[in-house]
Structure 1
């Protein structure tokens, strides 16, 4: 993590808060949508701002904006199908959706079940806490792992954050898995956990929304992760078409422009 990250974190938090007002929202349709060659059924779990979340009961964020652009590229109409996170891969395999666009990281376990598009964004895990002043000495991931023996660590069940922490912080004082990030954040603010480990974009958004309550991120990345879109392995033509969209968006610069609108510190 560059030194400039620490210096710009406060500006980033303000910028990310303002970004919520800049982009249009997308209203979700009913959860069940029949397969149609003219429709792109996009599986979403809108609980991960700024990637995907609800604002005034409408779904918005980076992923919905990219879903609309992808559907236009494919000459289809995007339909957002709201699902619990744990149902995303089953829904894809059961042909209830055509693609997962919901902040999913590429992992080996997931690659056994589904295909992934080319990664469109490099991310990672970060720590958020209510006691940042106690941890100013933590300047790298090694120090964080060493300090974890004193922490009650919160994670979201079924995420890469949970898998990572259970592997790397076996000596932690406690590891508590929550159903979603809101529950983990509430536990952090109530003092029931000391730190919460989650995906960097979500951590920064939580810090932006709760800075008056003293919620702050530690300005280090614990690992490197790559976000991509989930597809069925038996549909290589679809994978190729989605990759062609990503390549074109990168070449035109529209992908990076869209990402930076929602995640200002993105490289």
Structure 2
């Protein structure tokens, strides 16, 4: 039987070594950082022209870059955020999560990076009339809320003189406000900030936040390594101004 030429053997050996090296390199490559986010949740995370944008998107990219990993953003409905984390479909939740005692039982949190809560959106021309929470509470106003929301539950407590006007979603409520069919919108402050970015000349945020909450990232119990890395990143970003810069890029008013 005729032997293959020596040159052909060398080429075959080089190919085998190259393929082997490629497999080793692929095996050592850091895994992507799978980040659970909410779609259409401006200013935290949303898609525009097929590109992810928002506070959590900028922070997620910065965290992944710091860890030497590629960020992969996975959109999840609100009721699937925690299950996706617990089932290891994502590594971290960066979804504008409000820290609650119920959630603390299920997952761990990094230190909060933003103080939020419920806010009030009004027409810009009406801002001088509502400079304080006290003036808002005294106002006889038509208040738009989303059914079954925190704002709806707190409406009577915080605004006893306001009339209740439910809307299916925030976009409908904003149109009603612009068309003078309601006088204010009560809702999650970050969501209202997102609407303010769309209508900066027509709308304004009253300078109050009530029912304050803290926003933080969520991790699986036991994943202390990633949580501690995130905590160190936040500490550094607070010192060097990175966190403030990212927040100022997205929040038109001071949180």
Q: Tell whether 2:34 aligns with 1:46.
A: no
Instruction: Tell me, yes or no, if structure 1 residue 204 matches structure 2 residue 193.
Output: yes
The Cα RMSD (Å) is 3.1
* Selected match of 1:220 from 182, 192, 208: 208
- Alpha-carbon separation, structure 1, partners of 2:178 and 2:99: 30
Residues 226-262 of structure 1 deviation map (CA, whole Å, 9 limit, x = unaligned)? 2211112232332222212211222332222222222
Partners of 1:46 and 1:54 within 8 A in 2: yes
Q: Quick one: which of 245, 252, 264 aligns to 2:233?
A: 245
Q: 1:152 to 1:202 in 2, by over 3 A?
A: closer
Q: Which sections of structure 1, spanning at least 5 residues, go unmatched?
A: 1-35
Shift of 1:41: 1.1
From 109, 131, 148, give the equivalent of 1:139: 131
Contact in 1 for aligned 2:44/2:56 (Cα 8 Å): yes
Q: TM-score, normalised by structure 2?
A: 0.73
* 1:103 is aligned to 2:103: no
Once residues 131 and 259 of structure 1 are traced to their aligned partners in structure 2, the CA distance between those partners, rounded to angstroms, is 22
Alignment correspondent of 1:153: 144
Q: Call closer, same or farther: CA 1:155–1:47 in 2, change over 3 Å.
A: same
SS in 2 for 1:43: strand
What stretches of structure 2 of length at least 5 have no aligned partner? 1-28
Q: What is the CA–CA distance in structure 2 between the aligned matches of 1:175 and 1:111, rounded to whole Å?
A: 33
Structure possessing the higher radius of gyration over alpha carbons = 2
Match of 1:28? Answer: none
Question: Matched residue of 2:96: which SS?
Answer: coil
CA separation in 1, counterparts of 2:103 and 2:245? 28
Closer, same or farther in 2 for the Cα pair 1:231/1:183, shift >3 Å?
Answer: farther
Paired residues, what number? 227
Matches within 5 A, 1:73-84: 73-84=66-77
Does structure 2 retain, via aligned residues, the 8 Å contact 1:126–1:220?
yes
* C-alpha displacement of 1:144: 2.2
